[in-house]
Amino acid sequence: MPGTYTSFYLVAFNNDDRDQAVQAFPPRLAAGETAAIEAAGELARDHAGVLVWRRDNDPVVGEEGDPIVILSIGKVGDFG
Residue-wise pLDDT for 7-37, tens only, equals 999 999 999 999 999 999 999 999 999 999 9
Q: What is the pTM of this model?
A: 0.89
The pLDDT of residue 16 is 97
Phi, psi of 68 (to 5 degrees): -120, 115
* Secondary structure of residue 28 in the 3-state scheme: strand
Sign of the CA dihedral with 48 first, then 40, 57, and 25 last: positive
41 alpha-carbon distance from chain centroid: 12
Locate all alpha helices (DSSP H) within the chain, ordered by sequence. 33-43
Span 28-77, pLDDT tens digits? 999 999 999 999 999 999 999 999 999 999 888 878 889 999 999 999 99
